[in-house]
Amino acid sequence: MSTLHTVNKSPFANQSLISCLGHCKDGDAVLMIEDGVYGGLGGTGLTEIMANAAKSVSLYVLSPDLAARGVDAARLMQGVQGVDYAGFVDLVATHDRTQNWL
Amino acid sequence: MSTLHTVNKSPFANQSLISCLGHCKDGDAVLMIEDGVYGGLGGTGLTEIMANAAKSVSLYVLSPDLAARGVDAARLMQGVQGVDYAGFVDLVATHDRTQNWL
Amino acid sequence: MKFGVVVSEGPYTHQAVDSAYLFVKAALDAGHEVPRVFFYHDGVNVSTRLSIPPQDERNIQQNWTALAKGHGIDLVVCIAAAQRRGLLDENEATRQGKDANNIAEGFRISGLGQLIEMGIQTDRLVTFGD
Amino acid sequence: MKFGVVVSEGPYTHQAVDSAYLFVKAALDAGHEVPRVFFYHDGVNVSTRLSIPPQDERNIQQNWTALAKGHGIDLVVCIAAAQRRGLLDENEATRQGKDANNIAEGFRISGLGQLIEMGIQTDRLVTFGD
Amino acid sequence: MTIKNFLYVNRKAPYGTIYALESLEVVLIGAAFDQDVSLAFLDDGVFQLTKGQNTDGIGVKNFSPTFRALGDYDVTKLYVEAESLAERGLTADDLQEVMYEDEDDDWAEKPSIKIISRAEMADVMAGADVVLSF
Amino acid sequence: MTIKNFLYVNRKAPYGTIYALESLEVVLIGAAFDQDVSLAFLDDGVFQLTKGQNTDGIGVKNFSPTFRALGDYDVTKLYVEAESLAERGLTADDLQEVMYEDEDDDWAEKPSIKIISRAEMADVMAGADVVLSF
């Protein structure tokens, strides 16, 4: 039993991502979409929190949203994986529930 | 020459208030309205930042917004002053420009 | 698998409804079913047929209408949220004494019960909002 | 003093337009002038006459229409933002081949130049948004 | 009919936006469907439950009394996160009383609000079949 | 006619919301009014200027090339806050080049983007007559 969490807001503007990570169970997945993809950037003040989360939670970003914002996948921190919309659908299907952090 | 800044978002959810305070000049005023009024609460993790800002900037909350949210004026941190809509209008008139942190 | 989708923000202003559209298309492509999409909060604004986006931009309403037609998706607009925001179908307009209506083909105005029902009858619920 | 006011969010969803309304009333009460209010982004949604709020809630559009009438305020709705979001007056609807229009009395559709002009001609500009 | 665990997640402050009010409208309608219903209040959502809300000065309807009617709809599980309260300088005393009558205990009046830790909130979330976020 | 200093303040990321695009639409129209125009990019607003934006996968129009046309409209002062860039792991190299031809200097090509400190940004803000926030 595990949950897919989605986060769609920039972690530099909004606390949603931090709150989401604080409520994940081991084995959950977090998918960052829309402005949320900035949460996957390496070398920021958030990287340590994210690296710590990655020990127990799978981290994903929606690649089309990343490309729209001009962020090269090489800029993602280690442990964050890109998925396309088909991958998004698979994540929803393979987790027991989806919780959207709006 | 001074600026009235307005902030309408909760500082617990959003970085607007912090960014606003980081761009104030000495003698500016910050008016917290709508969900922004929570920024005036005493005894929170933000109180120290606010107390520091209060040394060079005047801090206000819009009282009708505070009352709507069930926050008694006694809960405001020291140095934060309540104003009504007439006071809001006066603040706009007596500062050279208004900058709204949306 | 059956997916239910909620759209909570209006068109053009937030990306939510664009993300929802691409998600639904991808779910259908993968062989899943999407029996219903529920439009709530400002999401009801997606259903207006009076929108005229610039020629070089997507037409969000028309895209949804076409997708729903092609795949039999029930596009439900919450009546309470719609009334507040000025979205009416012909029946509602007549009943409320309004001189115009603005709901596009393929969208259906109904109650919040349809949202709960979608939650009960689908295997997964995904919300796109702000 | 002359105040210009910008409203950037839609009715009921965000408090912005309520705050703007109370601010404009207070400014007028204090003897200031508010020659124009400019509705941009989702703010254009305020101008629909098809809104039917619950009986125990305020009617945002009607309040603005009445205030504008009583004080000669020019309520300008940005045409580009309005077209995207499905807000049309009769002329626009005819010109664009749409079968309905939805702009309320007291609101006027015009270009973004009216926003800049307001910035030039007023002493203070205040924006209410999200 | 299958009974599912519906969880309504409230993370936003009241009045600044309509989400809190329209969330409550879903809860009221949803109560008719005989599902297992819980409400979660965390982050700024805890502000929805403060007592003494008075909206006369902002021209917006005060919907906070509606929470007290939830018991009549058999909505009796309102989980409030302790850490969210503490971060905002709030305590349980700042929240309004929301009660219900327990039909399994001779209709005794009991509090609907349960203050739980963040870890317990994560458990509540993980126990839901359907999560509706506002 | 009086000439005022108009400052457009951009604090939001592109595409997730329309504010960045509709801000640019105001700037383009406003350019016809012969005012003194500056654009400020701070907080998530700095993301608007990143190079390599490709929106093919999200079905939304890529408006980032429009920034490069601003010089033709005599909009030549784009202030970007250094601290905002650094907090987001960005450097000047991540931003697209925006140039203008300086009519006072034999039409020499010059960069429109000026990276300034937070303190300098506060000065830019304090120097405005009209602040439009997006």
> Which among F99, F56, F46 is positioned nearest to F75, based on CA atoms?
F99
Q: Is residue C58 domain-resident?
A: yes
- Domain F5-133 belongs to what architecture? 3-Layer(aba) Sandwich (3.40)
Best mutation target among C79, C116, C124 (most E Cβ atoms within 10 Å) is C116
Interchain pair D12, E58: CB under 8 A: no
E110-133 in b/e burial notation, b at 16+ Cβ within 10 A? eebbebbeeeebbebbbebbbbbb
Please give the Cα distance from C114 to C97 (Å, whole number): 26
With CA atoms as reference, the chain E residue closest to B85 would be: E57
Tell me, what's the pLDDT at D108? 98
Chain A residues in contact with F15 by the CB 8 A cut-off are 34-35, 65, 68-69
A23 pLDDT above the threshold of 80: yes
Whole-prediction pTM value?
A: 0.98
- Is the CB of E79 inside 8 Å of chain B's CB atoms? no
pLDDT value of position F1: 65
**Ranges of chain C with pLDDT below 70:** none
Distance from CA of B45 to the nearest CA of D (A): 24
CB atoms within 10 A of CB E42: 24
> How far is residue D35's CA from residue D20's CA, in Å, rounded to a whole number?
14
pLDDT tens for A33-52 read: 999 999 999 999 999 999 99
DSSP SS3 for D9? coil
Task: Bin F20: left if φ > 0, else alpha if -120 < ψ < 50, else beta.
Answer: alpha
Query: B17 to chain A: nearest residue by CA?
Result: A13
Among candidate residues D128, F13, C20, the one with its CA nearest the CA of residue B34: D128
- A69 at interface of E, judged by CB pairs closer than 8 A: no
- Judged by CB atoms closer than 8 Å, whether chains meet at C86 and D10 is answered as no
DSSP conformational letter for B99: E
Residue D119 in any domain: the answer is yes
CA-based nearest residue to C114, from C85, C81, C69, C66: C81
E18: left (phi over 0), alpha (psi -120 to 50) or beta: alpha
Contacts of E15 in chain B (CB under 8 A): 34-35, 65, 68-69
Q: What is the largest CA-CA distance in chain B?
A: 35
**b or e along F80-95 (b: 16 or more beta carbons within 10 Å of the residue's beta carbon)?**
bbbbbbebbbbeeebb
Q: Does C130 touch chain A (CB under 8 A)?
A: yes
- Subunit partners of chain D (3 or more CB pairs within 8 A): B, C, E, F
Task: Give the domain extent around C103.
Answer: 2-124
**Cβ partners under 8 Å of residue F74, min gap 6:** F31, F37, F100
Q: Do B35 and E16 touch (CB under 8 A)?
A: yes
Q: Which of C61, A61, A23 is nearest to E133 (CA)?
A: A23
What is the helix (H) or strand (E) element at residue F40, kind and residue range?
strand F36-41
Structure tokens at E52: 């003494």
Look at residue F2 in the predicted model and tell me its pLDDT.
78
* CA F104 to chain CA centroid, nearest Å: 22
Which domains, and CATH codes, for chain B?
Answer: 3-101 (3.40.1260.10)
Q: Which residue of chain B is at minimal alpha-carbon distance from F42?
A: B19
Contact criterion met (CB below 8 Å) for B102 and F134: yes
Tokens of E121: 């909130």
Q: Which two tokens stand for residue C127?
A: 């919300």
Who among F19, F35, F130 is closest to D41 (CB)?
A: F19
Token pair belonging to E122 = 């994560």
Say how far apart CA B76 and CA D20 lie, in whole Å.
24
Give the span between the Cα atoms of D119 and D125, in whole angstroms: 6
CA pair distance C3, A26, nearest whole angstrom: 25
Report the SS3 class of residue D39.
strand
Q: Catalytic residue at C78?
A: yes
CB contact under 8 A, C26 and A92: no
Split at pLDDT 50, 70, 90, the class of B1 is confident
Per residue in E17-56, pLDDT tens? 999 999 999 999 999 999 999 999 999 999 999 999 999 9
Q: Which of E80, E133, B12 shows the shortest CA–CA distance to C41? A: E133
DSSP 8-state class, residue D103: B
How much is the pLDDT for E1? 65
Which residue shows structure tokens 């959950």? Answer: A28
Could you say which of C37, C78, C103, C109 is catalytic? C78
pLDDT tens per residue across span B83-102: 999 999 999 999 999 999 99
Q: Which residues of chain E have pLDDT under 70?
A: 1
Does D129 fall in a domain? no
Judged by CB atoms closer than 8 Å, whether chains meet at F15 and C14 is answered as: no
**CATH code, domain carrying D58:** 3.40.1260.10
* Residue E68 in contact with partner chain B when CB distance is under 8 A: no
Considering CB atoms only, which of B15, B97, B99 is closest to F43? B15
Question: Does the beta carbon of E42 lie under 8 angstroms from any beta carbon of chain A?
Answer: yes
Residue of B nearest to D1 (CA): B93
Chains F and E touch (3+ CB pairs under 8 A): no
Does a structural domain hold residue D94? yes
Please report residues of B whose CB lies closer than 8 A to that of A13.
Answer: 14-16
Number of domains in chain C: 1
Residue B71 per-residue DSSP state? -
Phi first, then psi, for residue C77 (nearest 5°) are -105, 125
For residue B6, what are its two tokens?
């307005």
How does the average pLDDT of chain A come out, rounded? Answer: 97
Other Cβ atoms less than 10 A from the Cβ of E31: the count is 17
DSSP string, chain C: -EEEEEE-S-TTTBTHHHHHHHHHHHHHHTT-EEEEEEE-GGGGGGGBTT----TTS--HHHHHHHHHHHHT-EEEEEHHHHHHHT---HHHHHHHT-S---BPTTEEEE-THHHHHHHHHSSEEEEE--
For C76, phi then psi, to 5°, come to -105, 130
Q: Do B34 and D15 touch (CB under 8 A)?
A: yes
Compute the count of residue pairs across chains A and E with CB atoms less than 8 Å apart: 37
Structural domain boundaries in chain F: 5-133
What ipTM does this complex have? 0.98
SS (H, E, C) E28-53: HHHHHHCCEEEEEECHHHHHHHECCC
- The structure tokens 């006011």 sit at D5
> CB-based contact (8 Å) between A102 and chain F?
no
DSSP assignment string, chain E:
----EEEEEE-S-SSSBSHHHHHHHHHHHHGGG--EEEEEE-GGGGGGGBS----GGGT----THHHHHGGGGT---EEEEHHHHHHTT--GGGBPP-EEEEGGGTTEEEE-EEEE-HHHHHHHHHT-SEEEE-
- Which residues 11-50 on chain D approach chain B with CB closer than 8 angstroms? 15-16, 19, 22-23, 25-27, 29-30, 32
Q: Per-residue pLDDT averaged across A74-100, rounded?
A: 97
Secondary structure of B13-45 in HEC code, one letter for each residue: CECHHHHHHHCCCCCCEEEECHHHHHHHECCCC
A24 touches chain E (CB under 8 A): yes
Q: Which amino acid is at D53?
A: P
The two structure tokens encoding residue C92? 């509602």
What tens-digit pLDDT sequence spans chain F (134 residues)? 679 999 999 999 999 999 999 999 999 999 999 999 999 999 999 999 999 999 999 999 999 999 999 999 999 999 999 999 999 999 999 999 999 999 999 999 999 999 999 999 999 999 999 999 99
Mutate to test the interface with B, among D6, D15, D67 (most CBs of B within 10 A): D15
Q: A: neighbours with 3+ CB pairs under 8 Å?
A: B, C, E, F
